[in-house]
Amino acid sequence: MSRRSSGGACLRCCLVIFAVVSALAVCGPALYWRFNKGITLADSKTSCPPCICDCPPPLSLLKIAPGLANLSVTDCGSDDPDVKHEMEKQFVDLLTEELKLQEAVAEEHLRHMNVTFGEAKRVASQYQREAEKCNSATETCEEARERAEALLIKERKVTSMWERRAHQMGWEGE
C-alpha cells in the first residue's frame, strides 16, 4: 500500500514540476524581453537625447504625374466609325463567347451533379440493404439468445430438482 502512495506522490511531484517548467517555457521569453527592454529604455533615456525631425510631407501621386489620375479610355476610337464598329463587334463576340462558356460550365456542372446524385443513390441503396441484413441478423441472434436463455432456465430447474433428490437420498455435495 505504501508503494502505491509513494508512486502516486512521485507522479504528482513530476506533474507539478512539468507544469512549472511548461509555464516558464511559455511565459519566460516574454517576461525576459519585457524586463530587458525596460532596463534598456531606462538606460537609453539617460544617455540619448530625443530626435528632432523636420521632414517635408511625402509627395502625392497627383503632384508627381497629374495625367495618371484620369485613366479612363472610354472615348478610345469613338471618332473612327470603323474602329467603333470593330469594337462593338468584338464586344458582342466576347459576350457571346462568355455566354457559351457559362452554358458549357453549367452543363458540365449539371452532368457532374447527376453522376454524383446517381452514385449517392446507389451507395444509399447499398447501405439500406446492409442495414436490413444487420437487422435480420440481430433479430436472429436475439431469438437464439432468448431460446438459449429459456433452455438454461429449464436446465437449472432440472439440476436443482436432481440436487434436492440427491440431498434427500443422503448426498452431501461438493
Which sequence spans correspond to the domains of the chain? Answer: 1-45
Give Cα 43 distance to the centre of its chain. 49
106 has a pLDDT exceeding 50: yes
Cell of 75: 472615348
> What type of residue sits at position 84?
K
Q: Give the least confident one: 57-61, 68-72, 143-147.
A: 68-72
Residue type, 71: L
- Name the region of 173 (left: φ>0; alpha: ψ -120 to 50; beta: rest): left
When pLDDT is cut at 50, 70 and 90, the band that residue 37 belongs to is confident
Q: What angle do CA 133, 134, 135 make, to 5 degrees?
A: 90
The whole-number average pLDDT for the span 148-154 is 96
Report helix, strand or coil for 169.
coil
- Overall residue count recorded for the chain in this entry: 174
Please state the separation of Cα 93 from the chain's center in Å.
45
Q: What is the DSSP letter of 57?
A: P
* pLDDT tens-digit series, residues 15-34: 899 999 888 888 888 888 87
pLDDT at 68: 58
More confident residue, 80 or 138: 138
In this model, does residue 159 exceed pLDDT 60?
Answer: yes
- Please count the other Cβ atoms lying within 10 Å of the Cβ belonging to residue 155: 10
SS3 129: helix
For residue 47, pLDDT over 70 is answered with: no
Angle at 113 between CA 112 and CA 114, to 5 degrees: 90
pLDDT at 35: 79
Which region among 31-40, 69-78, 106-115, 146-155 has the lowest average model confidence (pLDDT)? 69-78
Helices (H), 48-80: 61-64
Q: Specify the DSSP element, H or E, that contains 102.
A: helix 81-168
